[in-house]
């Protein structure tokens, strides 16, 4: 009986970890005032204009999120958008918001592609020191987001992120050319 109870409690705690691990990305082009339109990817994220924050900047900001949580296996995450003008767009990868900070699930992310091409340091295998912290080269981390040198698929690198602690990267976009971003994600343990 004790063994069954232990298994049940373990299953509940694992399920709660994964249930809160919903990947999300925010797309921000406010600096260059690049207007963005949400796109659609079959089986991909739901992408929409952000409906919070300064109303004047909403045409330059999108959010894209999974419709269900990821589990312990690496899962493809994909979203699309179209810029109205040329410019630089910042992609912020994290997890979904929840009312309680403790419920904002953590995800491991790696393997970034834009329009079917791996971006530089796509697998996060190269790191550099920024402010005394290991960070994937070409990206930046905020808050408690962490770099895991061998935490990605097939021993590649990964970043451990959630809604409040993110991995960021800038990408260049061209007017009227749809952009598809793809990466891998799985549920991760909370960072301390």
Residue 123 has pLDDT above 60, yes or no: yes
Per-residue confidence (pLDDT) for residue 13, from 0 to 100: 39
User: Residues 83-91: what's their mean pLDDT?
Assistant: 97
Per-residue b or e along 43-59, where b marks 16 or more CB atoms closer than 10 Å to that residue's CB: ebbebeebeeeeeeebb
Taking all residues of the chain, what is their mean pLDDT, rounded to a whole number?
90
Q: What is the pTM of this model?
A: 0.87
Per-residue confidence (pLDDT) for residue 48, from 0 to 100: 94
pLDDT band at 7 (very low <50, low <70, confident <90, very high): very low
Separation of alpha carbons 122 and 67, rounded Å: 24
Per-residue pLDDT of 32-56, as tens digits, reads 999 999 999 998 899 999 998 999 9
Long-range contacts of 120-123 (CB under 8 A, 24+ apart): 123/152, 123/153, 123/156, 123/157
Per-residue confidence (pLDDT) for residue 64, from 0 to 100: 97
């Amino acid at each position: 009986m004790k063994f069954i109870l232990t298994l049940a409690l373990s299953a509940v705690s694992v399920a709660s970890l994964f249930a809160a691990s919903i990947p999300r990305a925010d797309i921000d082009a406010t600096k260059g005032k690049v207007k963005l339109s949400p796109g659609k990817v079959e089986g991909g994220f739901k992408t929409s204009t952000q409906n919070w924050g300064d109303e004047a900047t909403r045409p330059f900001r999108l959010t894209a999120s999974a419709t269900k949580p990821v589990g312990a296996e690496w899962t493809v995450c994909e979203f699309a958008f179209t810029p109205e003008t040329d410019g630089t767009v910042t992609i912020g990868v994290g997890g979904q918001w929840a009312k309680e900070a403790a419920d904002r699930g953590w995800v491991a992310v790696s393997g970034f592609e834009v329009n079917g091409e791996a971006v530089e340091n796509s697998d996060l295998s190269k790191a550099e020191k920024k402010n005394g912290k290991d960070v994937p080269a070409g990206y930046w981390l905020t808050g408690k987001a962490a770099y895991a040198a061998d935490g990605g698929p097939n021993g590649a690198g990964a970043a451990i992120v959630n809604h409040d602690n993110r991995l960021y990267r800038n990408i260049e976009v061209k007017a009227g050319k749809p952009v598809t971003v793809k990466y891998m994600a799985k549920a991760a343990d909370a960072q301390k």
